[in-house]
Structure 1
Amino acid sequence: MSTDNQLVLDLRGVIELTTLSQSTIYAMAKKGEFPKQRRIGSNRVVWLRSEVVAWLEQKLAA
């Protein structure tokens, strides 16, 4: 799945983009160290691609 032109990412997209595991993403989010997920339906959450990319760029620059 290509994530280049998407406004939002599901969990699979976040994993693909960051190469982090699901458990790492949720653990970091719980500690406030990862962009916040957004609920867009009763059983659906997404992340804003721009926030995930900005977070990743910050990590790579450090």
Structure 2
Amino acid sequence: MSAVDRLIKMAEVQDLTGLSKAMIYRLINRGSFPQQFKPGGFASRWSECEVLDWRESQRVKRGLENDGRSD
């Protein structure tokens, strides 16, 4: 992981997660996605490290769920 945590825009969050803007805000409201920072005005930015950590946690969660399947 990078030593410097960048603040990224919504478009990059969408690219990294594959989620729509509406789904990202829905998950934030549920407490299931990293909260955005408000640097000023209407701008919103997310911690790149937090988004990447969230993405990895989803992969791990999916892997654990798949381990219980009988194929």
Question: The TM-score by the shorter chain falls in which range?
Answer: 0.7 to 0.9
Supply the RMSD in Å over aligned alpha carbons. 1.4
Structure 1 gap segments, 5+ residues each: none
Which structure 1 residue ranges, 4+ long, deviate > 6 Å from structure 2? none
1:1-62 matches, within 5 Å, as 7-62=6-61
The number of aligned residues is 58
Q: CA deviation at 1:8?
A: 1.2
Q: Highest Rg: 1 or 2?
A: 2
TM-score, normalization by structure 2: 0.77
Please identify which structure carries the higher helix content.
Answer: 2
Q: CA deviation at 1:43?
A: 1.5
**Quick one: percent identity of the two aligned structures?**
29
TM-score, normalization by structure 1: 0.87
Give SS of 2:32's match: coil
